[in-house]
Structure 1
Amino acid sequence: MLIPAYRPIVRCSKPLLKQVGTWPAGAISALQDCFEQTTWITFKAAATDGGTVNLEEYTASVTGYISKCIDDVTVSKTITTRPNQKPWMTPEVRMLLRTRDSAFRTAQNNVAAEKSIPPQNDQVLCLTAADVRRTLRGVNPRKAAGPDNIPGRVLRECADQLADVLTDIFNISLSCAVVPTCFKTTTIVSMSKKPTVSYLNDYHPIALTSIIMKCFERLVMRHIKT
């Protein structure tokens, strides 16, 4: 009896068109100039009510602005993606993912964070702009961006322009013992374990988190290790 040759499901996928952002010449310089001329204090002032800073609003507005500036200097390009369409990514799964994302965006967390009272002599960690700038300059530019769509290349090349505002956000987060929601969101993508994919188990999940949050974690970890 002849056994038909096995054909991996993944190779049956049709090529798809995808929009990606490309960096034309001078894009980074334009981005640096944009951030240099930005009055970052206005974002904090807009999120302040009665002397209290709304960390969620402050962080979301800053990261959203950075993402918009990136879109302004990059050029959208259509590319063809070939057989890496996951066999389990059916239209039904896509619809469920869109429903989940929509529900997450509209959900409101009104539960106030509770924390224990620190000892009287305990001092809250306070980061310096120099430490944040040094950490941003050490970011791997090839790292994939998280849900905030801010790639490592931007954080590395614009470290001087972004250090002060990110230091302010980090220190408010530390003093309030609250991590902004946009720093905690994650995009899950699947990566193949082998050059040739034959089974679903040949994939493993990769979590793409905010690179800004990774820098924040690195700064806190450095303090804890010390």
Structure 2
Amino acid sequence: MSVPLLYRLEHLEQYVTTPTRLDRTLDLCFGNIPGVYVSKPRPPLGRSDHNVILLLPKYRQKLKTEDIQTKTIQVWNDDSVDALRGCKEITDWEIFFQSCEGDLNLLTDSISSYLSFCVDAVIPTQQVKLYPNNKPWVTKDLKQCLNNKKVAFLQGDKHRVKQYNSELRRKTRLAKLHYKNKVEEKFTTGNAREAWQGLNTMMGRAQKPALIQCSDPATFAEQLNIYYSRFDRTHTQNDWTLTSSSSITVDKRKVTSILGRINPHKASGPDRLRGKVLRECSVQLGDVITQLFQHLLDSSFVPRMWTYRCRRNLTPGR
């Protein structure tokens, strides 16, 4: 006559106390420390006929997990780009040149500030939540299907759990296929940067940590600023001038062509204008940027904001 395992291990405690199939407890988990875990049922995986048991420790754990991040992004679509282009087309750029009265520093700062103001006023924004455990192919519809399955399981409706389980497998397969095709499309179109980002995300490769680790980034950045600008401390002239004996003529068509080829993923310059703005509005900004650069070249002048901010915008780890 065989003796049940529970009686042979009477000095150990069975942690699984909830039924796994109907009213029977098939899963066994023993331990020599009583009252350590609490068992909770979860929906079955795939086509399994018994529930999954989740063992949670009764003591409070100090988990080091990332918090949910809320990020504000700009929504660039055809309507917002057309509105931004229209804002640039109706702008009277001659007012900037007349009101500055030959002050090229004020002229450059005014045009840059106005362009940034137009982007903030016209391009809509949206707040998104970034979850640290989200897979890139997990969509909003997939999350809703998973939540419906959990609700049906808690209500004890086995028929609905089976339906949602089948629907969840189908939607998961389609979501993964859609994401795979999206990554492959990046390779075929020559966008290697985003393609490798997608592959790293699929493989779970974390981003490389910053090479410079410091407790106070602001203080460290200021120390770098002081070190690299030590040669300019004796320079008493606030404005920088260039000397050139040959006259240079700026061509509007070439300026427009160069603006249209700007990589929108590159970092912005000292004027804080994004490359996407200059590229999308290359036709509308070709005239004013041509005039601005022509004034700067004729005066052999470099605006203060282009030199000062280059020395101040030092960020550790970048």
Please give the TM-score of this superposition, normalised by the length of structure 1. 0.60
Q: Look up the equivalent residue of 1:124 and give its one-letter code.
A: S
Change (3 A) 1:17 1:89: farther
Instruction: Measure how far apart 1:58 and its partner are.
Output: 0.3
Find 1:135's aligned residue among 258, 280, 283. Answer: 258
CA–CA distance in 2 between the matches of 1:98 and 1:56? 25
**Structure 2 equivalent of residue 42 of structure 1:** 95
Instruction: Measure how far apart 1:80 and its partner are.
Output: 3.7
Q: Look up the equivalent residue of 2:295 and give its one-letter code.
A: I
- Answering whether residue 81 of structure 2 is matched by residue 28 of structure 1, we say yes
- Answering whether residue 274 of structure 2 is matched by residue 151 of structure 1, we say yes
**Structure 1 equivalent of residue 173 of structure 2:** none
**Structure 1 equivalent of residue 114 of structure 2:** 65
Change (3 A) 1:81 1:41: farther
CA–CA distance in 2 between the matches of 1:99 and 1:17? 31
Aligned length: 166
**Structure 2 equivalent of residue 77 of structure 1:** 127
Whether contact under 8 Å (1:18, 1:81) holds in the other structure is no
Using the TM superposition, name which of 33-42 and 19-28 deviates more: 19-28
Change (3 A) 1:77 1:17: closer
Give unmatched runs, 5+ long, in structure 2: 1-63, 133-205, 226-235
Cα RMSD (Å) of the superposition?
Answer: 3.4
Find 2:104's aligned residue among 22, 41, 55. Answer: 55
Residue deviations 1:88-144 (CA, integer Å, cap 9, x gap)? 353x3336758999xxxxxxx75455665x6xxx43111011111111111112223
1:126 is paired with a residue of what secondary structure?
coil
Whether contact under 8 Å (2:239, 2:302) holds in the other structure is no
Q: Look up the equivalent residue of 2:96 and give its one-letter code.
A: F
CA–CA distance in 1 between the matches of 2:270 and 2:65? 26
Largest Rg, 1 or 2: 2
Residue deviations 1:160-180 (CA, integer Å, cap 9, x gap)? 110111111111111122211
How many percent identity over aligned positions? 25
Q: Which has the higher strand share?
A: 1
Give unmatched runs, 5+ long, in structure 1: 1-11, 102-108, 191-202, 206-226
Instruction: Measure how far apart 1:188 and its partner are.
Output: 4.1
Whether contact under 8 Å (2:267, 2:274) holds in the other structure is yes
Please give the TM-score of this superposition, normalised by the length of structure 2. 0.44
